[in-house]
Amino acid sequence: MRVVVAGGGNVGSFVAEELVGAGHDVVVIDNDPARVERAPADDEAGSARWVMGDACEPLQLARTGVKEVDVLVAVTGDDEDNLVISLLAKQEFGVPRVLARVNNPGNEWMFNESWGVDVSVSTPHLLTALVQEAVSVGSLVRLLSFEHGKASLIEITLDGDAPVIDKELAEVGFPHDSTVVAILRRDRVIVPRGDTVFDQGDEVLVLVTPESEADVRVLLTSAG
């Protein structure tokens, strides 16, 4: 997979390093000369290629070969820059998938298809969801949203009164547009099958649509 990472700070350099380690072809663009100078040479094994430039400028972004990439990741420390970069990537260069970092949670509403963003990541909101997930039993917690709310990954820790307790997955009758993707049980990860039986204390991860979320809530929580 070919990837452009716009922003070579701590987040961008880490993302690039991880992607290169996974075998992907990565180019990082950053407008800080000192940062680009410190980057590993692109002929070093296991290194991304670094380009000096402002990713908000179409000509400079084009130098990364963005027209040929599969994914662009906009992770600068400025939300306005990330939005401009995302819009350029999608509309000017036709990048199939654009991911953008949200620095200020108050700006998250702007990170949508209108600005070319396929997936946005807001660290404060993610941390809030993880805190809720750690302390909530019997309550639905939304961990991640995809495609601007068209699908969500939710988590529910089953209490003793949940309707699914001691039932097999196949007999529960989940909505067609929902999928139980994993069950965490006593330090084990269970990939659910039709004969998997739900138990009290299970942490159930479900991929849902807005239309199926209410039905899934009824099935998995004692409150309904």
pLDDT tens string 7-46 = 999 999 999 999 999 899 999 999 999 999 888 765 555 6
Q: Please give the torsion angle defined by the CA atoms of residues 155, 159, 161 and 162, in that order, rounded to the nearest 10 degrees.
A: 20
Six-digit token string for 49: 């290629």
The answer on 114 and 148 residing in a single domain is no
Altogether, the residues listed in the chain come to a count of: 224
Check pLDDT > 80 for residue 126. Answer: no
State the pLDDT at residue 132: 57
SS3 state at 48: coil
Q: Which helix (H) or strand (E) holds 135?
A: helix 123-135
Q: Are residues 15 and 112 in the same domain?
A: yes
What is the Cα–Cα distance from 156 to 169, expressed in whole angstroms?
A: 15
Mean pLDDT (the chain, rounded)? 87
Question: What is the number of structural domains in the chain?
Answer: 2
Same domain, yes or no: 98 and 172: no
145 plus 116 within the same structural domain: no
pLDDT at 224: 53
74-78, 118-122, 133-137, 215-219: least confident range: 133-137
- Whether residue 127 lies inside any domain: the answer is no
Q: What is the pTM of this model?
A: 0.65
Question: Domain of 39?
Answer: 2-121
What is the predicted pLDDT for the residue at 139? 63
Give the Cα separation of 178 and 213 in Å (integer): 8
How far apart CA 184 and CA 59 sit, in angstroms, is 48
Task: Using DSSP, state whether 41 is helix, strand or coil.
Answer: coil
Does 84 share its domain with 161?
Answer: no
User: Of 63, 92, 121, which residue is a domain's last?
Assistant: 121
Residue type, 101: R
**pLDDT above 90 (res 137):** no
